[in-house]
A and B are shown apart, each in its own frame.
Chain A
Amino acid sequence: MFRPRPDAPAATIAVEVEGQAVTVPSGASAAAALLLAGLATIRETPVSGSGRAPYCMMGVCFDCLVTIDGVGNRQGCLVPIAEGMQVEIQKGKREIGR
Chain B
Amino acid sequence: MRQFDAIVIGGGLVGAAIGYGLARAGLAVAMVDEGDVAFRASRGNFGLVWVQSKGLGAPHYQRWTRLSAEEWPGLADDLAERTGISVGLEQPGGLQLCLGEEELNKRQAMMEQMRREAGNFGFEYRMLDHDELATMLPGLGPTVAGASWTPYDGHANSLNLLHALHKGFAEKGGTYLPNRTVGEAQAAPHDFRLQLGDETIAAPKIVLAAGLGNAKLAPLFGLSAPVRPQRGQILVTERTARIWPLPLGSLRQTQEGTIMLGSSEEDVGFDTGQKPEIMRNIARRAVLSFPWIAELQIVRAWAALRVMPPDGLPIYDESAQFPGAFTANCHSGVTLAGAHANVFAPMVAAGMLDPMMAPFSAKRFDVPAAA
User: What is the chain B residue whose CB lies nearest that of A96?
Assistant: B240
A62-98 contacts to B, CB under 8 A, are 71-73, 92-98
A96 touches B257 (CB 8 A): no
B33-92: which have CB < 8 Å to A?
none
Q: B245 at interface (Cβ–Cβ under 8 A)?
A: no
Chain A CB within 8 A of B365 CB: no
Give every chain A residue within 8 A of B293 (Cβ-Cβ).
97
B109 interfacial contact with A, CB 8 Å: no
Q: Would you call B239 an interface residue if the criterion is a C-beta within 8 Å of the partner chain's C-beta atoms? A: yes
Known contacts: A46-B257, A71-B295, A73-B297. The answer to whether A95 contacts B240 by CB under 8 A is yes
Is B243 part of the contact surface with A, judged by Cβ < 8 Å? yes
Q: Which residues of B contact A97 (CB under 8 A)?
A: 138-139, 240, 243, 290, 292-293
Name the prevailing secondary structure of the B interface residues. loop
- Residues on the B chain within 8 Å of A46, using CB: 239, 257
A94–B241 CA distance with the chains assembled, in angstroms: 6
CB atoms of A94 and B240 under 8 A apart: yes
Judge whether A96 and B296 touch: CB under 8 Å.
yes
Are A98 and B139 in touch, CB under 8 angstroms? yes
Query: How many residues of B are in contact with the other chain, CB < 8 A?
Result: 15
The docked-state distance in angstroms from the alpha carbon of A97 to that of B240 is 10
A94 cross-chain contacts in B, Cβ below 8 A = 238-241
**Nearest CB on A from B293, distance (A):** 8
The CA of A96 and the CA of B291, in the complex, are separated in Å by 11
B210-247 at interface with A (beta carbon < 8 Å): 238-243
Interface size on A, residues (CB 8 A): 11
Whether A96 pairs with B239 at a CB distance below 8 angstroms is no
Chain A residue at smallest Cβ distance from B243: A97
**B295 pairs with A73, CB closer than 8 A:** no
* A98 close to B239 (CB less than 8 A): no
CA distance A98 to B272 in the complex (A): 36
Q: How many contacts between A and B, using CB within 8 angstroms?
A: 36
Closest CB in chain B relative to A55 CB, distance in Å:
18
Q: Report the Cα distance A98→B241, complex, angstroms.
A: 10
Flag if A73 contacts B139 (CB, 8 Å): no
Give Cα A73–Cα B239 distance, bound, in whole angstroms.
8
Q: How many Å lie between the Cα of A35 and that of B76 in the bound state?
A: 45
Q: A46-B257, A73-B238 are in contact. Are A96 and B243 (CB under 8 A)?
A: yes
Across the interface, which residues of B come within 8 angstroms of A72, CB to CB? 240
CB distance from A48 to the nearest CB of B (A): 13
Residues of A within 8 A of B296 (CB): 96
What B residues does A92 contact at CB under 8 A?
A: 241
Bound Cα distance from A61 to B297, whole angstroms: 17
User: A93–B240 Cα gap in the complex (Å)?
Assistant: 5
A contact residues around B295 at 8 Å (CB): 71, 96
B273-303 CB mask vs A (1 if < 8 Å, else 0) is: 0000000000000000010110111000000
CB nearest neighbor in B for A73: B238
B146 to chain A, nearest CB (A): 19
Contact with B along A32-66 (1 / 0, CB 8 A): 00000000000000100000000000000000000
Given A71-B295, A73-B297: A95 in contact with B241 (beta carbons within 8 A): yes
- Which residues of chain B are within 8 angstroms of A73 by Cβ–Cβ distance? 238-240, 297
Min CB distance, B178 to chain A, in Å?
Answer: 31
**Nearest CB of chain B from residue A25's CB, rounded to whole Å:** 28
Chain A residues lying within 8 Å of B292, measured Cβ to Cβ, are 96-97
Residues of A within 8 A of B297 (CB): 73
Q: How far is the CA of A46 from the CA of B256 in the complex (A)?
A: 9
- Known A93-B257, A96-B292, A97-B293; further 5 A-B contacts with Cβ < 8 A: A71-B295, A95-B240, A96-B295, A97-B290, A98-B139
Selected A-B contacts with CB under 8 Å, 6 pairs: A71-B295, A73-B239, A95-B241, A97-B139, A97-B293, A98-B243
Closest 4 CB pairs of A and B: A97-B139, A97-B292, A93-B241, A94-B240
